[in-house]
């Protein structure tokens, strides 16, 4: 009986490990979903935007040969005269076709997401994306935030998330 006790303890621990390693496959919708984690400003030159994502059919990102952009960040600033949040317009100088002199574009950053492969049998993906954004020094006097969304390879658009408000 004395020798049986250590054996039962080891068996119990082994059983817990086996049962604990069995996990149910996570099920997510085919459209990507994102959650804002943080935006951190590096005062000298850039900012780091972090989001978590899920995608039920696992088609996030593109291979290195494809230059398609799948993550978008839109800069919004507080117009102190009207008290409203606005997209920032940047004049196109010199004009880049098809823009003409005097045209403006909204300040929006877009990036390619490298293809993410899931090694398991389940196609669903869950992970984190970190994006380093160039810091617009000419905007340092603005109170601002970023909106962010992603697309998967099938063209499904995620929800839109917002960073915290950054004060000058």
| Residues 48 and 128: beta-carbon distance below 8 Å | no
φ, ψ for residue 79 (rounded to 5)? -80, 110
Distance CA 117, CA 71 (A): 17
Q: What does residue 111 show for φ and ψ, rounded to 5 degrees?
A: -140, 155
**Gap between the Cα atoms of 93 and 85, Å rounded:** 25
State the Cα–Cα distance between residues 123 and 59, nearest whole angstrom.
8
Q: What is the pLDDT of residues 112-163, one digit of tens each?
A: 999 877 776 778 899 999 999 887 655 667 898 999 999 999 999 999 999 9
Report the SS3 class of residue 20: helix
pTM of the model: 0.75
pLDDT per residue as tens digits for the range 15-40: 334 444 445 567 899 999 999 999 99
């Amino acid at each position: 009986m004395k020798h049986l006790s250590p054996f039962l303890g080891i068996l119990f621990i082994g059983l817990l490990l086996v049962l604990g390693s069995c996990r149910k496959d996570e099920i997510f919708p085919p459209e990507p979903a994102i959650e804002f984690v943080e935006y951190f400003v590096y005062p000298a030159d850039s900012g780091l935007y972090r989001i978590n994502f899920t995608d039920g059919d696992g088609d996030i990102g593109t291979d290195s040969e494809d230059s398609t952009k799948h993550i978008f960040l839109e800069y919004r600033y507080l117009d102190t005269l009207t008290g409203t949040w606005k997209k920032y317009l940047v004049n196109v100088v010199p004009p880049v076709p098809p823009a003409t002199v005097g045209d403006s574009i909204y300040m929006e950053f877009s990036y390619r997401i490298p293809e993410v492969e899931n090694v398991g049998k389940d196609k669903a993906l869950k992970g984190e994306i970190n994006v380093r954004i160039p810091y617009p020094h000419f905007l340092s006097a603005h109170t601002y935030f970023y909106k962010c969304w992603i697309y998967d390879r099938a063209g499904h658009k995620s929800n839109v998330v917002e960073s915290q408000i950054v004060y000058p």
